[in-house]
Amino acid sequence: MRIDLPHRLIFLRHGETDWNAEGRLQGQKDIGLNSKGLEQSARAALKIKKLLRRMQLDDKHLHFVASPLSRTRNTMHIVRTHLGLSEQDYHTDPRLKELSFGQWQGLTWPEVQMQAPLEAKAREIDKWGFVPPKGESYAMLAERVRPWLESLNQDTCVVAHGGIARVLLVLLADMPIERAPLVQIWQDRPILFADGSFNWI
């Protein structure tokens, strides 16, 4: 399952949204950053700037790509501004959209447990393989992301979502599929994927 990526990948999850703060399943709903999310993105941008300096990596030779949802694009704009780059000069890729929770999007987990107790229990048993009603599983998300990863031909900075990060932990760092869906993905701490492992920045 692992992909031996010859390039370095700097991953950043978008900053907080009001739905994040409320514990709602956001999925592919296009919810914007809140004030805390803007601050988190700025902190993360400074960490990326320091990382690039430490790696002696010229940002002009770094590929920038984001999920097309507004919360990721806004985070990318903040990152690029802090790097002294044009806000808009980056790519988006629909394969980097968040895991779809289908009919559960907009609900809190307690609401899901109340409305669909059997399905909620099934997801707790198999978070990697479970498919929410009209949604997708982490396994499906991994297959969506794999071709994008395999297409990378240079060091890359990506702004995407928690679900994408968990899939990257499996595909690039051999994390067990039972563990990856449980990992907390911080919104102000980038992750560096390199040489088959990962490090929080």
Adjacent-strand bridge partners of 194? 197
pLDDT for residue 60: 78
Share of the chain above pLDDT 70, in %: 100
Global pTM value: 0.96
Evaluate if residue 1 carries a pLDDT over 90.
no
CATH number for the region 9-198 comes to 3.40.50.1240
42, two tokens:
């700025």
Q: What is the model's pLDDT at position 199?
A: 97
- Does residue 61 register a pLDDT over 90? no
* Structural domain spans, the chain: 9-198
Q: Which region, left, alpha or beta, applies to residue 143 given φ > 0 means left and ψ of -120 to 50 means alpha?
A: alpha
pLDDT band at 57 (very low <50, low <70, confident <90, very high): confident
Whether the CB-CB separation of 196 and 172 falls below 8 Å is answered with yes
Percent of the chain exceeding pLDDT 90 equals 95
Q: Name the H helices within 56-90.
A: 70-82
Q: CA-CA distances (angstroms) from residue 191 to 18, 183, 198?
A: 23, 13, 7
Residue 177: band (very low, low, confident or very high) from pLDDT cuts 50, 70, 90: very high
Q: Burial of 7 by CB count in 10 Å (0-12 exposed, 13-18 middle, 19+ buried)? A: middle
